[in-house]
């Protein structure tokens, strides 16, 4: 049986191998990382239907039970199934981190584009503001903001978004400054195109790839930051599970029931590693490093 051939003379398999997805998933690291991320996202989305136990039902008669057939990852100090809580915790940790980084990327791109395109006073104000946050570690900014606003998922998302805003703004500004000198941009300006048309139709689409990849890599850091805030009790509030909060509650049981803290910690570590490996594979597939070097 022969493989069907497209109009360009290449088979679908050859076309897939040459595509971005093919370059990522046909590499060992990128493929494994991509499959894991797809699996963890599906688990998070399908949590209400696939978890063996409710995440918030306590049963003190089986508190701190080690892993067995009934509870593959054991139970916590309140008799809640650790596996079910990790799956539900994925919903919390992933949704908070992805939403916060997505909003931060969008706002950062808009601010960076405005600063680079208009220049002058607007550039100085935006640059000074982002440089102020850039001079502090993300964890310090997040802790200060959550302490002011109060603990909870919304405040955690807001704090993470502000903490990572500077890097997306600075990266977008640098990309737009490089693109402004291109001939097609000068021609568009000469034809009398509006500022919004130039920014949103020509500049931002061409500056988007490095910023999006930076956002993907920052998502791994955001997961760690969300887990850190949850560990300090500033993230998701009980009984809503998050990986950081589960690790925090497990510290008191670390010698009696170490699985309570080990398994959520492994979930954080493996997810962050997978995101970094997938992001690196995406950088290689899009050849971002050489494009930035040539630019």
Q: What is the pTM of this model?
A: 0.84
Give the CA count within 13 Å in the CB-facing half-sphere of 186: 4
Structure token pair of residue 164: 């990572």
One pLDDT digit (tens) per residue for the chain, 295 residues: 444 544 455 555 444 455 545 555 556 677 788 889 999 999 999 999 999 999 988 988 998 899 999 999 999 989 999 999 999 999 999 999 999 999 999 999 999 999 998 888 999 999 998 888 888 888 888 988 998 888 888 999 999 999 999 999 999 999 888 888 777 777 877 777 787 888 888 888 888 888 888 998 899 999 999 998 988 888 888 888 899 988 988 888 888 899 999 999 999 999 999 999 888 887 777 665 454 444 4
Taking the domain 73-294, which CATH number applies? 1.10.3720.10
Helix (H, G, I), strand (E, B) or coil at 224: helix
Task: Check residue 11 and report its DSSP letter.
Answer: -
Instruction: Tell me the residue length of the chain.
Output: 295
Peptide bond into 239 cis (omega under 30): yes
């Amino acid at each position: 049986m022969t493989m069907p051939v497209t109009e360009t003379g290449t088979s679908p398999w050859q076309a897939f191998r040459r595509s971005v997805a093919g370059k990522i998933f046909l590499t060992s690291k990128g493929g494994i990382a991509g499959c894991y991320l797809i699996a963890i996202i599906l688990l998070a989305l399908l949590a209400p239907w696939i978890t063996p136990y409710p995440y918030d039902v306590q049963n003190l008669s089986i508190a701190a039970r080690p892993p067995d057939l009934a509870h593959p990852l054991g139970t916590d100090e309140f008799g809640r199934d650790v596996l079910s809580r990790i799956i539900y915790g994925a919903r919390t940790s992933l949704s908070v981190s992805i939403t916060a980084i997505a909003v931060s990327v969008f706002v950062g791109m808009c601010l960076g584009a405005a600063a680079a395109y208009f220049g002058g006073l607007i550039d100085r104000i935006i640059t000074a503001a982002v440089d102020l946050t850039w001079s502090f570690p993300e964890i310090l900014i997040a802790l200060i903001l959550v302490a002011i606003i109060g603990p909870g998922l919304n405040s955690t998302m807001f704090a993470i978004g502000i903490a990572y805003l500077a890097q997306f703004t600075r990266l977008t500004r640098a990309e737009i400054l490089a693109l402004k000198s291109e001939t097609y941009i000068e021609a568009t300006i000469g034809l009398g195109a509006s500022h919004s048309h130039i920014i949103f139709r020509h500049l931002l689409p061409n500056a988007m790839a490095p910023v999006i990849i930076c956002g993907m890599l920052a998502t791994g850091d955001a997961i760690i930051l969300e887990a850190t805030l949850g560990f300090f009790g500033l993230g998701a509030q009980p009984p809503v599970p998050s990986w950081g909060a589960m690790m925090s509650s497990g510290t008191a049981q670390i010698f009696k029931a170490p699985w309570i803290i080990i398994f959520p910690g492994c979930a954080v570590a493996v997810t962050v590693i997978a995101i970094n490996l997938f992001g690196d594979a995406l950088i290689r597939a899009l050849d971002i490093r050489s494009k930035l070097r040539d630019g």
